[in-house]
Chain A
Amino acid sequence: MSVETLAKLKQTALDLVGSATDLRQLEALQVKFLGKKGELTALLKDLKSLSDAERKKVGALLNDTKAQIQSVLEEKESLLVREHAQRQMAEERIDITLPVQASLLTDGPGTLHPLTRVQRELERIFSGLGFTVVDGPEIEQEYYNFEALNVPQTHPARDMQDSFWTVHKTLLRTHTSSIQARSLELMKPPLRIVAPGRCFRYERVDSSHEHTFYQMEGMMIDREVSVGQLIYFMKTLLREIFGGEQRIRLRPGYFPFVEPGFELDIWFQGRWLELLPCGLVHPKVLEYGGIDSKQWSGFAFGLGLSRLVMSRYQIDDIRYLQGGDLRFLKQFVSG
């Protein structure tokens, strides 16, 4: 066996592969050259008859040739597959401009996501009470997420590990309270807003933790807003949701953007359940928004929508909410 024979064999193989037009031909070529009884394999067996030095030299060349043919074969194969797919798709061509009236085939009625359902109910209640539904960006300036809410640079809540930060030094809003700050800046008091939306916290996902969740912020700014009025709105909300008088309690809670600040608990099935944080808007937050805190005051609250949805529908794993599983979604036909 000579080097020349090998070179000739290689050239023949490459030419044949190059001119192959379908996968069947390619397969035949694979067998012809590289198969168990293929031409190259046969040459490999001849190696035994050579001297050590010769064997080493020719052996290396043989392997190299084999690899080259293999790679050309593979390249050609993927080209043919692509071409085949293109041809097949071309055969599937439809006239997209044709005005066809076709009807959908679906399994049963469509469903609204439970988060949408609950959000709508709350929006309905608050709209009825004169609150405007607003929203804001999900990627936020630090200023609106923290500073303007009286959370100074040194506050532990601003620790890097609690929030998602972008490479542009902005962050994914950690609460809908950022919309408080934006609304104060844009709207003139008196004002009443609710702002539902998606929020993010740097958290590993498990059955009760999510890095993505929903809140609804509420705020009222007027001349003389009191804790008593806050209680009125919260009780009205609960009367609407539950259809009757509810036992609630306010207890002290600390949030930099309210003073005084509370946690509102509701008496539910024999025990107190934490429902939402709320309070009177901190005068500094008003001033950041360009509102005279001597003239105006207000209350604010933040409802955890995801949690409300979970307890309303008795959902035991938060991952269902954004899992996109139709077997979950299809259950919310009504209610």
Chain B
Amino acid sequence: MRISRSWLSDFVDLTGLSNDDYAELITTRVAEVDRLEPVALPVSDALVALVKTVTPLRANLNKVLLSLGSEEVVVVCGAENCHPGSLVPFIPKGGKVVVVTSVENPPQVVTEREISGTLSVGVIPSEFELGLTGDHAGVLVLGEGLNVTAASSGLSNVPPQPGMTLAQVVGEPDCVLVIDNKSLTHRPDLWGHYGFARELSAILGRPLRMTADDWADDTDAGLKRLAALGSRESQWKIAVQPNSNCRRFMALELEGLSLTSSPLWLRRRLFSVGAGVRNLIVDLSNYVMHDIGQPNHVYDADLLVPGTIMVRLAKEGEKFLGLDDQERTLRASDVVIADQKQAVALGGILGGKESSVCQTTKRVLLESANFEPVSVRLTAKHHQLRTDASNRFEKSQSPYSCPLAIWRFSELLMQLQKSVKIASKVTQDFPQKPKPIMIPVTTDFIRRSLGVSLDDKKIENILSSLRLTPRREKSPCEYLVSVPYYRATRDISIPEDLVEEVGRIYGYENVPEQMPLIESSCPRTYLAYRVETQLRDALVGIGFSETYGYSFMDAVFAETLGYPRTLAVQLMNPIDVNLEYMRTSLVPGMIRCVNENGRHTGNIALFEFGRGYETEASKSHASLRFRAPINRPAAFERRLLCLGYVSSQADEGEACLPPVAKGVGFYALLSVLKRLALLVTGEELIVEPFAGNKLSNSASNFSCLRNWMHPYRATALTLAGRKIGTLAEVQPGVFDTSISHGVISEIDIELLMEGMSEVKHFKPISRFPESFFEMSVVMDAVRPYRELERYVRARVSQQLLRKLEVMAVYTGKPLEANEKSISIKLVLGAQDRTLGGDELSSIQAALVDGLGTEQFSLRV
């Protein structure tokens, strides 16, 4: 929306306010002003000049002698419409001309130049070069209609004289406020200059110069006035069909027209709001819309079939040729205006080509109507035809604004073209009269909601300034407020709306900050929140960096990694075909992230907290899923933690305990996970080799080996019997960068937390010394240590076995090639005594004696 200051001044006195001042008022009281655009800067530099002589220099180039009253100057000019005796503007050197109309290209400075041997000391500018309009056809010839007097602004028209400044003749340079249409969607009344004038009148406490609101026929006065317009009965009958989404349709026939161009002041205003210029009739129709906000349309009455004008729903497949020369096929939900023969307009959106004003137009039918906002929006959207009219109707204009356009258009036209007469009475159909809105409100409510101590009188005044008429009811501070027609759209309907009106006119900067008196209560902390915070801090502490991935997944890539799309949530309108599904696991994203970082560094330690989404909800841990329990989830969302680790060091780990020949990355990340699990739950994390190779459709299934996993370096992770995640090295070939032995783990946070006890009880520390003994056991090389551990734990009382440690793993001579030896250390102790030598010997003997039965042997 573009709002011209000069136009606003027709309606309200803005003297004493700088452009910045009033833009600030609009921003803080009404809607945010995006920017201020001064237009027509060069006007200040131009003088009025009389063309004395025009001497051709060569083809299309003349030497022009200009009189400025007291002096004469020579200008070289190519325009064809520069004739002796004409009054034209003259910009001397040092003044400015517009070269390109845009914010980025400021006007350029005029210089003295020699052209074809003649010194030109300035320019005779076109309207475009003056920044007045977009007209570039010739120089501006100062004739009739230079200033806005015709628009009844009360300014006197100054006849141009040589030597005067151009500003004296055409008015001061204008300033345009640019406001984002989005900030006005809730204010249909602000889609014209008059609406902003109403606001400024209320804000500044200055009267409105034109009271167009009196023309609205929601009052008796308005009705009477309308009834008196025209004397003959109209030959047109309006018939609005039920369900045609038209709330009102009115029409007025005017005759005695001829198609002329619009006066400068009018073209200049249309230019300032960004509207194009055609001819007086079309321009005026546009002008009225930007003036009072009511869209309207002008038909050539001779091109319509006389009789009834219908507003109806289109027939499915009906053709309509619009003013834009495009033929559209309509749907049964589109609204059309039709004469007896065909559709002549797409209701509230666009006029028809065949009944439009043309060179031969003498008689017109002026339409001012009102349509249902949703219907207009859907039709405009479907046909990709958003017009100034549809934009306005979408916001729900009041049907009581219809007469305003009838009045404004006919008055202005009759002023500008003396031959024009009203042919007959206004004819209309008004099937949907909105009911007046009355809002009961107490001034206490307004004061309480704002937190200010305004007295009743002040509140009454503010409401009245906005024509929100407060009527005092019987009990104190109770009022019944009637809403003016132009705000009784969707805008103001409840007491809270009145709070906003009082607040913004009073000024929010006048509302004091107020500490509330409220019950002091401790905020609750949800477990998941606490656990995530703890995990994040711990991870950062050991050198991991946090990353945030996207919630979408590349389903093809995920499937190659072993995450089928079967249970993934599919999007109807993905932003990219590769991002059609919601991720079920954080792993694919982490693999890509590690891979990319592998191009820059060899040491990568990353973690991400995020959600995995699946279509099937598992009931098992629904209650913990969110910090607040949730009703009716739309999908199954899991809170996941994913870790990615790559190190530049070799696969061997000499420094580990016990030292290992390979897989150090895997063991390092496993150590981290074990510590984290202990830290937040107090439980021991256990590795659980995958049982089978069958791929599960659900990414929440942690029991299966996925395609990306190294089959001999992968495991499920369990905590107190629950499978809470996986840990695996990434198979060779998955990364396309040089990184190798990358390790990735994914943990379900809620499963991690499940069964967590808040408080762990103290266990007494034994006062008796511990004993230990070591043994080395030879076993098959591929047999997991876990079997030896089970063997030991089955044979030594849990009360006595304090610790079981692996000291070393050995392969090589003198062992067989398929053998290994594991050296373990048992730390034994009792709560109530020192273990005696006999006791220790019998434990040792029991351990050694049973080895053979389990295919272990003692290494001596």
Proximity bits, B686-701, A CB within 8 Å = 1, else 0 = 0101000000000000
Stretch of A35-43, A47-55, A184-192 contacting B (4+ beta carbons < 8 Å): A184-192
A94 and B712 contacting across the interface, CB-CB below 8 Å: yes
A97 and B546 contacting across the interface, CB-CB below 8 Å: no
- A176 lies within 8 A of chain B by Cβ: no
The complex places the Cα of A167 from the Cα of B634 at a distance, in Å, of: 12
A226 and B550 contacting across the interface, CB-CB below 8 Å: no
B545 and A329 contacting across the interface, CB-CB below 8 Å: yes
- A46 lies within 8 A of chain B by Cβ: no
- B762 lies within 8 A of chain A by Cβ: no
Q: Mark out the residues of chain A between 128 and 177 whose CB falls within 8 Å of any chain B CB in the assembled complex.
A: 130-141, 154, 156, 159-161, 164-168, 170, 172
The complex places the Cα of A233 from the Cα of B15 at a distance, in Å, of: 39
Contact among B381, B569, B593, B666 with A139 in the assembled complex (CB-CB below 8 Å): B569
Stretch of B75-83, B298-306, B320-328, B597-605 contacting A (4+ beta carbons < 8 Å): B597-605
Proximity bits, B185-208, A CB within 8 Å = 1, else 0 = 111000000000000000000000
A133 and B526 contacting across the interface, CB-CB below 8 Å: yes
- Which residues of the partner chain B approach A110 to less than 8 Å between Cβ atoms? 539-546, 605
B686 shortest CB reach to chain A, Å: 9
- B571 lies within 8 A of chain A by Cβ: yes
The complex places the Cα of A156 from the Cα of B542 at a distance, in Å, of: 49
- B782 lies within 8 A of chain A by Cβ: yes
Proximity bits, B523-551, A CB within 8 Å = 1, else 0 = 11110010001001001111111111111
Q: Mark out the residues of chain B between 499 and 527 whose CB falls within 8 Å of any chain A CB in the assembled complex.
A: 499-500, 503-504, 508-509, 511-516, 518-526
Q: A107-B603, A164-B571, A172-B551 are in contact. Are A137 and B494 (CB under 8 A)?
A: no
- Which residues of the partner chain A approach B451 to less than 8 Å between Cβ atoms? 226-229, 231
Contact among A111, A170, A202, A253 with B635 in the assembled complex (CB-CB below 8 Å): A170
- B225 lies within 8 A of chain A by Cβ: no
B573 and A164 contacting across the interface, CB-CB below 8 Å: yes
A54 shortest CB reach to chain B, Å: 48
- B627 lies within 8 A of chain A by Cβ: yes
The complex places the Cα of A191 from the Cα of B455 at a distance, in Å, of: 31
Q: A137-B634, A226-B448 are in contact. Are A105 and B647 (CB under 8 A)?
A: yes
- Which residues of the partner chain B approach A127 to less than 8 Å between Cβ atoms? 523
The complex places the Cα of A252 from the Cα of B499 at a distance, in Å, of: 12
- B340 lies within 8 A of chain A by Cβ: no
Proximity bits, A217-237, B CB within 8 Å = 1, else 0 = 000001011111101100100
Proximity bits, A195-230, B CB within 8 Å = 1, else 0 = 000101011110000011000000000101111110
A165 and B571 contacting across the interface, CB-CB below 8 Å: yes
- Which residues of the partner chain A approach B680 to less than 8 Å between Cβ atoms? none
B626 and A135 contacting across the interface, CB-CB below 8 Å: yes
Q: Mark out the residues of chain A between 67 and 99 whose CB falls within 8 Å of any chain B CB in the assembled complex.
A: 85-86, 88-90, 92-99
Q: A107-B603, A229-B514 are in contact. Are A182 and B630 (CB under 8 A)?
A: yes
- A322 lies within 8 A of chain B by Cβ: yes
B516 and A225 contacting across the interface, CB-CB below 8 Å: yes
Contact among B377, B500, B733 with A156 in the assembled complex (CB-CB below 8 Å): B377
A231 and B500 contacting across the interface, CB-CB below 8 Å: no
- Which residues of the partner chain B approach A244 to less than 8 Å between Cβ atoms? none
Proximity bits, B777-788, A CB within 8 Å = 1, else 0 = 000001011100
Contact among B539, B573, B615, B658 with A100 in the assembled complex (CB-CB below 8 Å): B658
A186 shortest CB reach to chain B, Å: 6
Q: A102-B656, A167-B571, A325-B597 are in contact. Are A116 and B546 (CB under 8 A)?
A: yes
A280 and B715 contacting across the interface, CB-CB below 8 Å: no
B540 and A111 contacting across the interface, CB-CB below 8 Å: yes
- A335 lies within 8 A of chain B by Cβ: no
Proximity bits, A110-126, B CB within 8 Å = 1, else 0 = 11110110001000000
Nearest to B600 among chain A residues (CB) is: A327
- B631 lies within 8 A of chain A by Cβ: yes
Nearest to A117 among chain B residues (CB) is: B546
The complex places the Cα of A198 from the Cα of B786 at a distance, in Å, of: 42
- A270 lies within 8 A of chain B by Cβ: no
- B649 lies within 8 A of chain A by Cβ: yes
Stretch of A4-12, A13-21, A26-34, A260-268 contacting B (4+ beta carbons < 8 Å): A260-268
A166 and B635 contacting across the interface, CB-CB below 8 Å: yes
Stretch of B26-34, B260-268, B747-755 contacting A (4+ beta carbons < 8 Å): B26-34
The complex places the Cα of A322 from the Cα of B539 at a distance, in Å, of: 19
A131 shortest CB reach to chain B, Å: 6
Nearest to A185 among chain B residues (CB) is: B631
B847 shortest CB reach to chain A, Å: 18
A228 and B687 contacting across the interface, CB-CB below 8 Å: no
- Which residues of the partner chain A approach B670 to less than 8 Å between Cβ atoms? 96, 100, 102
- Which residues of the partner chain B approach A112 to less than 8 Å between Cβ atoms? 536, 540, 546
The complex places the Cα of A211 from the Cα of B574 at a distance, in Å, of: 11
A96 and B573 contacting across the interface, CB-CB below 8 Å: no
- Which residues of the partner chain A approach B504 to less than 8 Å between Cβ atoms? 252, 260
The complex places the Cα of A252 from the Cα of B507 at a distance, in Å, of: 10
- B452 lies within 8 A of chain A by Cβ: yes
A227 shortest CB reach to chain B, Å: 5
Q: A101-B656, A297-B449 are in contact. Are A231 and B511 (CB under 8 A)?
A: yes
Nearest to B589 among chain A residues (CB) is: A324
A97 and B789 contacting across the interface, CB-CB below 8 Å: yes
- B800 lies within 8 A of chain A by Cβ: no
Nearest to B602 among chain A residues (CB) is: A107
- Which residues of the partner chain A approach B448 to less than 8 Å between Cβ atoms? 224, 226
- A243 lies within 8 A of chain B by Cβ: no
The complex places the Cα of A95 from the Cα of B787 at a distance, in Å, of: 11
Q: A170-B634, A204-B575 are in contact. Are A100 and B628 (CB under 8 A)?
A: no
Q: Mark out the residues of chain B between 582 and 637 whose CB falls within 8 Å of any chain A CB in the assembled complex.
A: 582, 589, 592-593, 596-597, 600-601, 603-606, 611, 613, 615, 626-635, 637
The complex places the Cα of A261 from the Cα of B637 at a distance, in Å, of: 33
Contact among B516, B522, B600 with A326 in the assembled complex (CB-CB below 8 Å): B600
- Which residues of the partner chain A approach B615 to less than 8 Å between Cβ atoms? 168
- Which residues of the partner chain B approach A56 to less than 8 Å between Cβ atoms? none
Q: A96-B784, A104-B668, A110-B543 are in contact. Are A324 and B597 (CB under 8 A)?
A: yes
The complex places the Cα of A141 from the Cα of B520 at a distance, in Å, of: 34
The complex places the Cα of A174 from the Cα of B110 at a distance, in Å, of: 53
A183 and B628 contacting across the interface, CB-CB below 8 Å: yes
The complex places the Cα of A159 from the Cα of B374 at a distance, in Å, of: 12
- B485 lies within 8 A of chain A by Cβ: no
Proximity bits, B467-499, A CB within 8 Å = 1, else 0 = 000000000000000000000000000101101
A102 and B687 contacting across the interface, CB-CB below 8 Å: no
A9 shortest CB reach to chain B, Å: 36
- B663 lies within 8 A of chain A by Cβ: yes
B185 and A254 contacting across the interface, CB-CB below 8 Å: yes
B671 and A100 contacting across the interface, CB-CB below 8 Å: yes
A206 shortest CB reach to chain B, Å: 12
Contact among B605, B633, B663 with A104 in the assembled complex (CB-CB below 8 Å): B605
- A249 lies within 8 A of chain B by Cβ: yes
- Which residues of the partner chain B approach A276 to less than 8 Å between Cβ atoms? none
The complex places the Cα of A110 from the Cα of B603 at a distance, in Å, of: 12
Proximity bits, B16-31, A CB within 8 Å = 1, else 0 = 0000000000011111
- B164 lies within 8 A of chain A by Cβ: no
- Which residues of the partner chain A approach B374 to less than 8 Å between Cβ atoms? 154
- A103 lies within 8 A of chain B by Cβ: yes
A132 and B547 contacting across the interface, CB-CB below 8 Å: no
The complex places the Cα of A94 from the Cα of B603 at a distance, in Å, of: 22
- A23 lies within 8 A of chain B by Cβ: no
- B577 lies within 8 A of chain A by Cβ: no
B498 shortest CB reach to chain A, Å: 10
A106 and B656 contacting across the interface, CB-CB below 8 Å: no
- Nearest 8 A/B pairs, CB to CB: A228-B451, A106-B543, A260-B500, A226-B451, A228-B514, A94-B663, A97-B786, A110-B540
Q: Can you list 27 residue pairs at the A/B interface with Cβ under 8 Å? A: A85-B732, A85-B733, A92-B712, A97-B784, A101-B667, A102-B655, A103-B655, A104-B669, A104-B672, A106-B603, A132-B524, A166-B569, A167-B570, A168-B635, A183-B628, A185-B631, A192-B523, A200-B551, A202-B575, A224-B448, A226-B449, A227-B451, A251-B508, A263-B32, A322-B548, A324-B597, A329-B545
